[in-house]
């Protein structure tokens, strides 16, 4: 049984910027039959998105380097190198790099589709709420 392999040199991956972070697309829905979207995030000190809920995707995070503080459904979790964190759809969450060092992590979404939101927000960050609604994502104030 054959399959498609994606082999992408590091200089050929799409990279966008948002929420102070750098996101590199490693595998998008058009390459995974819509099953998942995988990206690498480089999160500088102070970086990270506002609290939000995704209504369509499960989300997983794997910390490659550094330390990232997650808030998931009101609970605080400090994730360091080697930590995996799963956030089910419908749960309020966000992350922030509260350290003085850069952090890197893999972020996995299933099913795919939310990469469209990432691209649109990188182009028009002022339209956060409207773009979020289009992709089933609701954003909240940091408070």
| Listed residue (46, 28, 47) closest to 37, CA to CA | 28
Q: Domain with 105 in it: what CATH number?
A: 2.60.120.10
Report CA dihedral (60, 75, 46, 97) to the nearest 10 degrees.
-50
Q: What pLDDT band is residue 76 in, cutting at 50, 70 and 90?
A: very high
User: Tokens for 103?
Assistant: 């952090």
Domain with 118 in it: 12-127
Domain annotation covers residue 64: yes
User: Tokens for 104?
Assistant: 């890197």
Domain annotation covers residue 141: no
Domain count, the chain: 1
**Span between the terminal Cα atoms of the chain, in Å:** 52
Domain annotation covers residue 83: yes
pLDDT in tens, 40-75: 999 999 999 999 999 999 999 999 999 999 999 999
Domain annotation covers residue 32: yes
Q: 71-77 — which CB contacts under 8 Å span 24+ positions?
A: 71/95, 71/96
Whole-model pTM: value is 0.91
Domain annotation covers residue 6: no
pLDDT at 143: 62
């Amino acid at each position: 049984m054959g399959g498609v392999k994606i082999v992408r040199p590091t200089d050929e991956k799409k990279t966008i910027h948002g929420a102070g972070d750098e996101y590199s697309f490693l595998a998008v829905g058009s390459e995974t039959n819509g099953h998942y979207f995988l990206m690498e995030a480089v999160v500088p000190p102070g970086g990270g998105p506002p609290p939000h809920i995704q209504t369509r995707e499960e989300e997983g995070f794997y910390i490659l380097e550094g330390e990232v503080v997650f808030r998931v459904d009101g609970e605080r979790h400090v994730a360091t190198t080697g930590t995996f964190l799963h956030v089910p759809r419908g749960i309020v969450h966000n992350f922030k790099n509260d350290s003085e060092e850069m952090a890197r992590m893999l972020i996995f979404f299933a099913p795919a589709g939310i990469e469209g939101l990432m691209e649109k927000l990188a182009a028009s960050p002022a339209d956060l709420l409207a773009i979020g609604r289009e992709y089933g994502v609701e954003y909240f104030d940091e408070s």
